Amino acid sequence: MFVDQIRVHAKAGDGGNGCVSFRREKFVPRGGPNGGDGGKGGDIILRADVHTDNLVDFYYQPLLKATRGEHGMGKNMYGKAGADALYKVPVGTLVYRIPAQFLRPPSVEDIPDEPPPKTIISPADCQLIADLSQENQELALCLGGLGGKGNTHFKSSTNRAPRQFTEGQPGEEGFFLLELRKIADVGFVGYPNAGKSTLLGRISAAHPKVAPYPFTTLNPVVGVVEFDGYSRATLADIPGLIAGAHHNVGLGHDFLRHIERCKLLLFVLDAAGSEGRNPIEDLGNLRRELDLYDPTLSQRPWMIAANKMDLPGAEENLMTIRNRFSDKVVVPMAAAHGVGMEEFKRALQSLLGL
């Protein structure tokens, strides 16, 4: 299961209460107060981990809790602080706070005769708290409550036997939305069955699913390509886009978000038109969908991989593509047979400046 967006409830630990106690020992009359303070509650901490690739753990554990601090004790003994709860998230996770209006339970007056449609919370409705884009970057999502004070703090010259104490403060609590946006140097963009997964499998050690039917790839797959000079780059195979993807048609917004972090966009085209489409029209539709989803994506550097050059009609379409986009890098290839891979790697290395 691949999960890249999940809602969670976080509750930090409460602080322990202060203690009311008096020193009672033989031959020590009126020993005075000796109640200790309560311990601090544990924090909820998120850490970006390179060994975690999606948010599936939070699908089965959406309640994030930390332990509370222990209460103070006699003999001026402080309560033990609650342990922090550490949760690992993938690098590239955005953390949003969900507004209260999405959490308010409906009143009797709000309930219509028919059940209302299900409300879907989107990041646009929430407040961005943090972007965990660096390895081992941490976020204190909720802070634990401070411990209460024991009666030792309330003694004075006029109050020799205080019985006052304070309770521990409650830990912070809230609902949050976690959204993963894959971080990669190159994002593969193309129609279903254009050969994106085959290409990724040829130039990296990734093993995406490859099959002769549309939407074989149902979640982004990241691979690493090695270049000469001991340099490397990460490649993200984005599930196939279709017309209307910016309106969430097909897989739509589920995976368009993963393109936003890519430095270079690679448009993989079926140069032979084996699916009954024109590669020039495919490229125009793909760029239009990206621009409608996020206008800044049209300013991103991009190149073209003309795939399936081993099929009839590919050479004529390649000439048309090169004439139409003479200012862009166009690499012909047949990924299924490993043809053109070295030229493609050199072009990637040059455009990425590695």
The reported pLDDT for the residue numbered 54 is: 85
The domains spanning 1-180 and 186-352 adopt the same CATH topology: no
What is the pLDDT, as a whole number, of residue 163? 93
Q: Is 107 exposed, middle or buried (0-12, 13-18, 19+ CB in 10 A)?
A: exposed
For residues 301 and 274, the answer to whether their CB atoms sit within 8 Å is no
Query: Residue 173 is inside which H or E element, if any?
Result: strand 173-180
In this prediction, residue 345 carries a pLDDT of: 92
Q: What pLDDT score does 261 carry?
A: 84
Give the mean model confidence (pLDDT) for residues 90-107: 80
For 126-135, 157-166, 206-215, which range has the lowest pLDDT when averaged over its residues? Answer: 206-215
pLDDT band at 245 (very low <50, low <70, confident <90, very high): very low
- Architecture of the domain delimited by 186-352: 3-Layer(aba) Sandwich (3.40)
pLDDT at 121: 73
| CATH superfamily for domain 1-180 | GTP1/OBG domain (2.70.210.12)
Residue 68: both structure tokens together = 């509370």
The better pLDDT of the pair 114, 340 is held by 340
101-117: average pLDDT: 54
Q: What is the DSSP string of 82-123?
A: PPPEEEEEETTEEEEEPPGGGTPPP-TTT--SSPPPPPPP-G
Q: Is the pLDDT of residue 274 over 70?
A: yes
Rounded percentage of the chain residues whose pLDDT exceeds 90: 53
- Of 153-167, 173-187, 286-300, minimum mean pLDDT range: 286-300
**HSE-up of residue 67 (Cα within 13 Å, Cβ side):** 10
What mean pLDDT is predicted for residues 202-225? 71
Buried b (16+ CB within 10 A) or exposed e, 47-86: bbbeebbbbeebeeeeebbbbbbbbbbbebbbbbbbebbe
CA distance 45 to 85: 6
CA–CA gap between residue 235 and residue 262 (Å, rounded): 9
pLDDT exceeds cutoff 90 at 115 = no
Q: What is the predicted pLDDT for the residue at 116?
A: 46
99-103, 303-307, 318-322, 341-345, range with the lowest pLDDT: 99-103
Rounded Cα distance, 223 and 236, in Å: 6
Tokens 């691979």 appear where? Answer: 223
Read off the pTM: 0.76
- Go through 248-261 and write b for each residue having 16 or more CB atoms within 10 A of its CB, e for each that does not: eebbbebbbbbbbb
**Domain boundaries of the chain, sorted by first residue:** 1-180, 186-352
C-alpha 95/C-alpha 331 separation (Å) is 38
Beta 5-11 vs 232-237: how paired, if at all?
Answer: unpaired
Q: What pLDDT sits at residue 237?
A: 85
What pLDDT score does 117 carry? 44
User: Would you place residue 113 in the very low, low, confident or very high pLDDT band (cuts 50, 70, 90)?
Assistant: low
Give pLDDT, residue 212.
Answer: 57
| Of 240 and 133, the one with more pLDDT | 133
